Amino acid sequence: MNVSRETLQSNKFLKQMKNIVLRRLIQLLTRIQEEEPEKFEKVQETYGTVIKMGAIEDVKNRDKLIPLARFATTQRASISLDEVRYSHTFGS
């Protein structure tokens, strides 16, 4: 079977599959972030850069990926943008 990469990339079924897998992955990462912060730190060590790039490049899922992104600070190991916004609002 000889199938070009372009054919696979333009296949409607594969685009739908990609969206389903991505949606489930974001749901899983969100659940881990909320329920198991220690595990989420490990995820950040491995995939933090990918999550940040996704938040920049994937306009459709940006609002879901931004809360998952963590950034290094001088005061903590990492912090989300929501935590930055909260700390500036309440002066912590």
**Rounded-to-integer distance, Cα 82 and Cα 67, Å:** 7
What's residue 51's pLDDT? 95
- How are the residues of the chain apportioned to helix, strand and coil, as percentages rounded to the nearest 5? 75, 0, 25
CATH number at residue 58: 3.30.230.80
- Give the residue numbers spanning the domain of 25: 5-90
**Rounded-to-integer distance, Cα 8 and Cα 14, Å:** 7
* pLDDT tens for each residue of 15-40: 899 999 999 999 999 999 999 999 99
What's residue 46's pLDDT? 95
Placement of tokens 């002066």 in the chain: 91
In the predicted model, what is the mean pLDDT of residues 10-17?
A: 84
* pLDDT tens for each residue of 35-90: 999 999 999 999 999 999 999 999 999 999 999 998 877 776 677 766 655 555 54
pTM for the full predicted model: 0.72
**In the structure encoding, which two tokens stand for residue 60, read together?**
């459709």
Number of domains in the chain: 1
